Structure 1
Amino acid sequence: MTCELCELAVEPVWRNDKLSVILVDDTAYPGFCRVIWNDHVKEMTDLAPSDRLVLTDAVWHVELALRDVMKPDKINVASLGNMTPHLHWHVIPRYADDAHFPNPVWTVAVRATDESTLAERRARLPKLAADIVRRMEKPA
């Protein structure tokens, strides 16, 4: 059986022996990231305490990079995994003008974000990737 998250983690922004950070290819949400635990575990409670700290620290660093580079109005952090029971966290920059705001990104869209705004946000993605790598290589 193939795992969608393992396939996505083939080209991560950053990876070590424990986890991968990827930029999600979502045109409506530039900067949407996933932090994916490399081993197949379902829940946070399946991890050793030290590994839970590694994972939550990675989510924290990705959130910091998103705040600094993408300048969102809010960050959403979610761990669902209902369809793919492989431990991962969604870290999503949110803006008052995004397609679903103030609702979750998985609901019905209530507007279309201006394409020039999305293009400007997509232009920040190389800087975001570099900032994630910097933070993950030298965590504070």
Structure 2
Amino acid sequence: MSQAAAPLQQANCPLCQSLGGDLVYRNSRFRVIDALDADYPGFLRLVWNDHVREFSQLQRDDRLLCMDAVAHLEQFVLNTFKADKANLATLGNVVPHLHWHVIPRFVDDKHFPAPVWAAAKPGVGLVPKQQAILDTRSTWLPALRADLVRAFGT
């Protein structure tokens, strides 16, 4: 697909029909959204613009671009939020449109060390590190946007 072509879309796909969250960055190949997860501030998603179900369906250059962007987001989460761990996942079981979850994790968060989709530990809410991320959202979102433009263009 050329840079100017419209993304391939599927009518019944929620990620083809909507952004999927608060748009942080978009170029012709992918977009980055803030998942707006109250329990996990800083939970980002990289959504491929074309409707493809599997990572392996991308051409080699697109796979490399996609993984470079995911690694870039992982470093942002680790460096900016001082996360203890970054979780990366591409599931697509519920929404079969290629997207990557990039989730800052903290040893004292309500699910650690289990995945964020597991049952929460009883009595654990938003931890101070997560609240700090939420409190500085107006600062880190523009910084991430500018960082992605520098790294991947517009």
After TM superposition, the score normalised by the length of structure 1 is: 0.90
- Residue 4 of structure 1 pairs with residue 14 of structure 2: yes
Q: Distance in 2 between matches of 1:9 and 1:28?
A: 17
Q: 1:114 to 1:32 in 2, by over 3 A?
A: closer
Contact in 1 for aligned 2:21/2:35 (Cα 8 Å): no
- Residue 130 of structure 1 pairs with residue 137 of structure 2: no
Q: Distance in 2 between matches of 1:125 and 1:45?
A: 33
Runs of 4+ in 1 over 6 A off after TM superposition: none
Cα offset, 1:126, TM superposition:
2.6
Q: Looking at both structures, which has the greater relative contact order when contacts are Cα pairs under 8 Å and sequence separation is at least 6? A: 1
Aligned residues: 140
- Aligned match of 1:100: 111
Unaligned runs of 5+ in 1: none
Contact in 1 for aligned 2:24/2:141 (Cα 8 Å): yes
Counterpart among 27, 30, 34 of residue 45 in structure 2: 34
- SS of 1:99 mapped into structure 2: coil
- Residue 119 of structure 1 pairs with residue 131 of structure 2: yes
Cα offset, 1:116, TM superposition:
5.3
Contact in 1 for aligned 2:20/2:35 (Cα 8 Å): no
Give the letter for the 2:116 counterpart: V
- Aligned match of 1:17: 28
Give the letter for the 2:111 counterpart: H
Q: 1:49 to 1:102 in 2, by over 3 A?
A: same
1:96-122 superposed Cα distances (whole Å, 9 cap, x missing partner): 111100000000001423465543220
The percentage of aligned residue pairs carrying the same residue is: 41
